[in-house]
Chain A
Amino acid sequence: MARVVFDHVSKHFGAVRAVDDVSFDIEDGEFICLLGPSGCGKTTTLRLMAGLEQPTSGRIAVDDRDVTFAKPKERDVGMVFQDYALFPHMTIAENIAYPLKVRGAPAKDRAARTADVAQSLGIDHLLERRPGQISGGQQQRTSVARAVVHKPKVFLFDEPLSNLDAKLRVEARSFLKHLQVELGVTALYVTHDQAEAMALADRIAVMEGGRVVQMGPPLEVYRKPATTFVANFLGNPPMNLVPVKLRLDGGRARLQAAGLDVAVDPGRASRFRDGADLTLGVRPEHLRLVPDAGEATFTGSVYTVEPLGPETLITCTVDGQLVTARLFGDEPPELGDTAHFRIDEHHLELFDDAGVRVER
């Protein structure tokens, strides 16, 4: 149980700024996901927390204790690695008990605690096996068991689900979430899978180029992406982003592009001049199919139709630009059809020419 503070933390490798002035607080018992593409600095941030790297500048604290330069063993963390890193020469029981052993716990306590943890993770029947003799999902649980056995203050996860197949991954995901809530331990979790982050996190920190570009609860980050980068990274398929020009005309504001024309509340556009280059963003599920061109915001010709069961993805070309809509229940148009779509204004996001979201 712990509060974690990152205070202007940077980590440079030569000229590369892997982590660049990152600051955030994690509340006691909170589950934080670091989300971003490879090379964004999320894993380095996690390793700074673990003590496997030391920051170039800044300060890291756990429960008001400065641990910036503390060794890993002085930090009381538990970590699950991407490849699980189960020691191949030890049995599952020895693997799980290793953190207790290096802390000098008596053999009897070790065995009892190991049996306890193994049972709660459903791997107690595997204790005498070796890592090579159990399945990927079981290895993953063993790795989690080893990380929790000594009741650490902070849990660290480095893409722990990426080596599992798709079906197992969803199962393991719910299991991890349940476990974290049950144990109530502060957790820092690295992933490049936005769905995973959405499902697990109390708050998501989206990273790009070594910086945290947005941090907030999953739905807030999803609904109000701070930048076009975040908009593009979250959601599958991602938010549609269309370059538009702002037209201010006697107290009214319109966004226009070839094949698209939509009115917006002039208040939202007040700080821009007429003819400003903006980006319009809209989630695929917020595009409504309408029968005729009169109600439509834009019209496109159907490029692909992908029925996924509960929903159907329709991608249209609108003057050379691809726009994807997610339709539920509607009778979907067919390939080559002309389709009319409407965007309701309250679903519409605006980004300025630097890609930063315009507040309503």
Chain B
Amino acid sequence: MRLLRLVLTRATFYAAAAIFAALFAIPLVWLLFAPFDARANLAVRLPHPFTLANFGKVFANAFAVRALFQNSIIQAGGAMLLVTLLATLAAYALSRSPIRGKDLLSYGLVLFSSIVTGTAAMVPLFLLIYSLGLIDTQLGVILVFTGGLLPAAIFIMRDFVDSIPRSYEESALVAGASAWGMFKDIALPIVRPGMMVVAVWTFVNVWGGFFVPFILLRSPSNMPASVAIYSFYTEGGTPIITLTTAYSLLYTLPVLALYLFVNWRYGFRFFGGIKS
């Protein structure tokens, strides 16, 4: 009787797990098979005939190549460098210097950043970039992403800096280091893991971001891969499934790779802001 119950419980558990696994996996199976299928359509089937020619089509398409290998990298990389640098400096200051009301400042930062979202503020963001003369430029996209991601990045980073004992920096000061030497030799190397997490987080967010480049960019030569994929499957009549799925797969791989890297290197420490 007891054995039967145990078997039933186990069986229920595995059945439930299998159903959930299927629910999450099935919508993506097509995306895994179609890129290798010479005659891919919207249906799921094992690639037949199996081919790598679809990727060849991607590399033959100048627009696609430029969007993925140039524009997306410039925009995600640019925002990544800016956000990581500025968030590290700001979080370090908020943690280690006697700025009055810094906790109130942090709260205000979270408050404002959760109110002023990209979609709610699309008009003023557009007007701001417009008046800076940066419409249809990569720099405009980088600036808007940087502004939008900074508050959460500062928050993540401050959490990290606060968790580091001050005695590291104090012992450097007592050892005779100047303020700058202490920051460069001791503080920066110690907060590097936090910077890596923020950098990866920023890169993934901008890489996957669609709305900001969608409203700020006009010329095809400036579009990142996200907007390119959207135009592939919405414009020009029937979508070219073979090209678009292969392209989507190439575009997704860096995100998965970075996720695996962070998971392996730092463990997947749960923090609310990995994606917003």
A and B directly contacting (CB within 8 A): yes
Residues of A whose CB lies within 8 Å of any CB of B are 50-52, 71-73, 76-79, 81-83, 85, 87-89, 98-99, 102-103, 146, 150, 156
Main secondary structure of the interface of B (DSSP, over half): helix
Contact partner of B173 (CB less than 8 A), chosen from A73, A146, A150, is A73
Q: How far is the CA of A146 from the CA of B174 in the complex (A)?
A: 11
Main secondary structure of the interface of A (DSSP, over half): loop
Contact partner of A89 (CB less than 8 A), chosen from B170, B181, B189, is B189
B196 within 8 A of A: no
B168 within 8 A of A: yes
Residues of A within 8 A of B176 (CB): 72-73, 76, 99, 102-103, 150
B190 within 8 A of A: yes
Q: How far is the CA of A79 from the CA of B170 in the complex (A)?
A: 9
Minimum Cβ distance to chain A for residue B46 (Å): 49
Q: How far is the CA of A52 from the CA of B176 in the complex (A)?
A: 12
Asked if A85 and B171 make an inter-chain contact with CB atoms under 8 angstroms apart, the answer reads: yes
In this complex, the interface size class of chain B, counting residues with CB under 8 Å from chain A, is 10 to 19
Asked if A83 and B177 make an inter-chain contact with CB atoms under 8 angstroms apart, the answer reads: no
Q: How far is the CA of A73 from the CA of B178 in the complex (A)?
A: 7
Minimum Cβ distance to chain B for residue A47 (Å): 8
Q: How far is the CA of A78 from the CA of B170 in the complex (A)?
A: 11
Residues of A within 8 A of B262 (CB): none
Residues of A within 8 A of B171 (CB): 79, 81, 85, 146
Given the known A-B contacts A87-B190, A89-B189, A89-B190, are A51 and B167 also in contact in the complex, defined by CB atoms under 8 Å?
no
Contact with A along B140-182 (1 / 0, CB 8 A): 0000000000000000000000000101101111111110010
Residues of B whose CB lies within 8 Å of any CB of A are 165, 167-168, 170-178, 181, 185-186, 189-190, 192
What are 15 A-B pairs at a CB distance below 8 A?
A: A51-B173, A52-B170, A71-B173, A73-B177, A76-B176, A81-B171, A83-B165, A85-B168, A85-B171, A87-B190, A88-B190, A89-B190, A98-B175, A98-B177, A146-B171
Residues of A within 8 A of B165 (CB): 83, 85
User: Chain A residue with minimal CB distance to B175?
Assistant: A99
User: Chain A residue with minimal CB distance to B177?
Assistant: A102
Residues of A within 8 A of B189 (CB): 87, 89
Residues of B within 8 A of A78 (CB): 174-175
Q: How far is the CA of A88 from the CA of B172 in the complex (A)?
A: 13
Asked if A85 and B173 make an inter-chain contact with CB atoms under 8 angstroms apart, the answer reads: no
Minimum Cβ distance to chain B for residue A283 (Å): 38
Q: How far is the CA of A73 from the CA of B168 in the complex (A)?
A: 15
Asked if B168 and A87 make an inter-chain contact with CB atoms under 8 angstroms apart, the answer reads: yes
Asked if A102 and B181 make an inter-chain contact with CB atoms under 8 angstroms apart, the answer reads: yes
Asked if B167 and A82 make an inter-chain contact with CB atoms under 8 angstroms apart, the answer reads: yes
Given the known A-B contacts A82-B167, A85-B167, are A72 and B190 also in contact in the complex, defined by CB atoms under 8 Å?
no
Residues of B within 8 A of A88 (CB): 190
Residues of A within 8 A of B178 (CB): 73, 102
Asked if B168 and A52 make an inter-chain contact with CB atoms under 8 angstroms apart, the answer reads: no
- 6 more A-B residue pairs beyond the given contacts A52-B170, A98-B185, with a C-beta to C-beta distance below 8 A: A71-B173, A72-B176, A79-B171, A81-B167, A83-B165, A98-B175
Contact partner of A102 (CB less than 8 A), chosen from B167, B170, B175, B190, is B175
Asked if A77 and B174 make an inter-chain contact with CB atoms under 8 angstroms apart, the answer reads: yes
